[in-house]
Structure formats: C-alpha cells, structure tokens
Amino acid sequence: MKHAALRIGAVLVSAFFLAACRDSGPAGKAEGIVGGIGLARITVYDQRPGPDGLFSGAPYMRAVTDEGFYVMNGTGRLELHDVRKGFRSINLSPGRYVQVPPCTLLRLVGTDHLVVLSLRAGPGKEAGEEDVRLYFGQAADENPAEYERLAGVEGLEGALKRRDEAVRAYGSFSSLWSFDRVAYYKELERFVGHVLNAAAAGRNQLGDGKAGSGWTARHRARLNDLPLNRDEIPAVFFFPPEKESLGWSGLVLQVTGLDAVK
C-alpha cells in the first residue's frame, strides 16, 4: 500500500505541472487539466483555531461533483456526513487518498499543518462553483441575502470569520449525531435537498464543456487520426506561479491558466 500511495503521489504531483491538448488557441493557453479535472493545493487554515478549538476549513457540500483529497503534508482528518451512513471521520496522513461523492457534507481538520491536493471531477475553480454550498444552518439557507453576507470574504481575516460562522452552525448540527439521530438525519436531508435545488436552478452555469468526457472523445479522435501530422501534435503546457486564494477549507493554489512552453 505504501508503494502504491507513493506512485499515486508521483502521478498527481506530475499532473500539477504538465497538461496537453490538441489546440493551444490564439493566446497559447491550455483548455484545462488532462481529464477535465479541477486541481488545487489546499493548505488547511491554521492561522488560528475556530470556535471549537480546531484548525479547520468551513464545512461544505457539493451537489454534483466528486472530490478527491490526496495528502501531501501534515496530519488531520476528514469529517463526513451523508444520508446513508451518517457521520464518519477519516484520519489523514501523507500519501493517503480519500474520494468523496456529491451530497456529502465534509470538513477538513488539520492537526499538524495539513496540506492536501484536491481533485474535482469538473474543471471549475473553487470560488464561485454553482454546485458548492457552505453550511451556515437553515436560517441562512432560507435567507439568500444572509447567506451571501456570511459567505462573502475580504482578506484572510474575512475568510477565517466565514469559517468561524460556518463552524458554529456545523457544531450545533454535528452534536445531533450524539443525542438525536432523528433530528440529525432530518437536518442533513434538508440541507442535501437545498443544495440540489440550488444546483438545479443554476444548471446552465455548471461546467463549461471541458469535463472528462471531452478528453475521452479527444483521445478517441487522436486514435482515429493516426498517424498524426505535425500540426496535430499537442503543445506542452506548464503552470506559471500564481497567488493563493482564500478557499472554503484553507489557502488554495488553484492549478489553472496553463501556458504553452515556448
């Protein structure tokens, strides 16, 4: 298992820097990461603990997107809540990989400078994805203006305050697992329904035609076109240095904007 984890790590880190596509476009930009995935490095917030005394990100749920976490550094855990099995916690350490389906409420918790590589089934950036919903509780879900206020962020301190607000609501919800399972599942099912309805309302904005199926079609087209001529050989791309952004779970280095190697 250890050797398999190391091999997976080598592949993921390599993907961090290289991608190829048939057409580099007029500006020499890649269409996206190989396979149409979203790829980001997340350094879980550890500037200060949240209201529950833990270094963590904000709890959130995705409506349609699978997300995988490969641990690059540090230790921690991934807290999960789904309507089939309820609450579970998975310990995280370097080399471990966890894949989470949509409609799962999750939170990343760091115990020693946790850094993970996030892989998502769609190419979109973390910020502004239409299928992501932070958990602030029912009152915020029923008041769009209040949700937008809580979800908005300005600077690192703003991101930490957003995390804190979400953790307070999440703490009240999580405690139901211990003393009122009926209420726990009722609230979780409510939130899942809310996330799915919100995604359905914004379905036209979900994805941009670069998902994995597009890369599969491209691969088949190349097989049919063999032998490729010089103009059909893809360019080599790399990820230029970019600044970290303030994501749901921590400081995010989103792998996007690949440039052609000259």
Residue 115 lies in a domain: yes
Please give the tally of structural domains in the chain.
1
pLDDT digits (tens, 9 = 90+) for 54-93: 999 999 999 888 999 999 999 999 999 999 999 999 999 9
Whole-prediction pTM value?
0.80
Cα separation, 222 vs 82, whole angstroms: 40
Q: In this structure, are residues 108 and 21 in contact, taking their beta carbons and an 8 Å threshold?
A: no
Residue 6 in domain = no
Q: What is the CATH number of the domain that holds 184?
A: 2.60.120.10
Residue 15 lies in a domain: no
Question: Considering the chain, what percentage of its residues have pLDDT values greater than 70?
Answer: 79
Please choose, from the candidates 32, 42, 43, the residue with its C-alpha nearest in 3D space to the C-alpha of residue 121: 32
The sign of the torsion formed by the CA atoms of 64, 248, 204, 119 equals: negative
46 belongs to a structural domain? yes
Instruction: State how far the Cα of 163 lies from the Cα of 223, in Å rounded to an integer.
Output: 47
Residue 218 has pLDDT above 90, yes or no: no
Give the tens place of pLDDT for each residue, 138-168: 999 999 999 999 999 889 999 999 999 999 9
Is 30 part of any domain? no
State how far the Cα of 12 lies from the Cα of 40, in Å rounded to an integer: 11
Q: Is the pLDDT of residue 208 over 90?
A: no
Quick: pLDDT tens for 167-189.
999 999 999 999 999 999 999 99
What's the whole-number average pLDDT of the chain?
82
How does pLDDT run across 116-137, given as a tens digit for each residue?
A: 999 987 655 543 456 899 999 9
Q: What is the DSSP secondary structure assignment for residue 29, as one 8-state letter?
A: B
9 occurs within a structural domain? no
Sign of the C-alpha dihedral, residues 241, 15, 36, 81? negative
Tally helices (H) and strands (E) across the chain.
Answer: 6, 13
Where in the sequence is the domain holding 202, given as residue range(s)?
Answer: 37-209+245-255
Could you tell me the pLDDT band of residue 234, with boundaries at 50, 70 and 90? confident
Whether residue 25 is contained in a domain is answered as no
Indicate whether 152 belongs to any domain. Answer: yes
pLDDT of residue 203: 67
Provide CB contacts within 8 A for 183, sequence distance 6+. 176
Q: Rounded to an integer, what distance in angstroms lies between the CA atom of residue 35 and that of residue 216?
A: 8
